[in-house]
Amino acid sequence: MSLLNKRTRSRKERRLSSLHMVSHNLKGEVSTLGDIIKRGSRFYVGQPKRIRASATYKKLIIDVPEAVVSDTVPETMFFYMDTRFTTTQMNRMKRLIGVVLSIWFFHYQQKNEGAILSAYQSCVNKYAKFNLSPVWFEGKLSNGAVAADVQMDGLTTMIAANGFGRAAKAYIMYQASGTSTIKGVSASEPEKNSLTITVNSTDLNNTGITDSFLGGSLLHAWLHREGYRHPAGKFTSYFAGEAAMCGMRGNKDKSPLIPISTYTKWLD
Q: Please give the residue that has the higher pLDDT: either 55 or 262.
A: 262
In angstroms, the CA 268 to CA 259 distance is 17
In angstroms, the CA 193 to CA 33 distance is 11
Kindly report, residue by residue over 162-177, the tens digit of the pLDDT.
Answer: 999 999 999 999 999 8
Kindly report, residue by residue over 76-94, the tens digit of the pLDDT.
Answer: 999 999 999 999 999 999 9
pLDDT computed for residue 86 by the predictor: 97
Kindly report, residue by residue over 151-204, the tens digit of the pLDDT.
Answer: 999 999 999 999 999 999 999 999 998 888 999 999 989 999 999 999 999 999
- Backbone φ, ψ for residue 32 (5° rounding): -100, 15
Kindly report, residue by residue over 1-29, the tens digit of the pLDDT.
Answer: 433 343 334 443 443 344 343 334 433 33
Kindly report, residue by residue over 33-71, the tens digit of the pLDDT.
Answer: 333 333 333 333 444 455 555 789 999 999 999 999 988
From residue 189, give the alpha-carbon distance in Å to each of 33, 71, 155.
13, 17, 11
For the whole model, what pTM was predicted?
0.80
> Sign (positive/negative) of CA torsion 170, 176, 180, 185?
negative
pLDDT above 70: residue 267: yes
User: CA 176, 179, 180 angle in degrees (round to 5)?
Assistant: 80
pLDDT computed for residue 108 by the predictor: 97
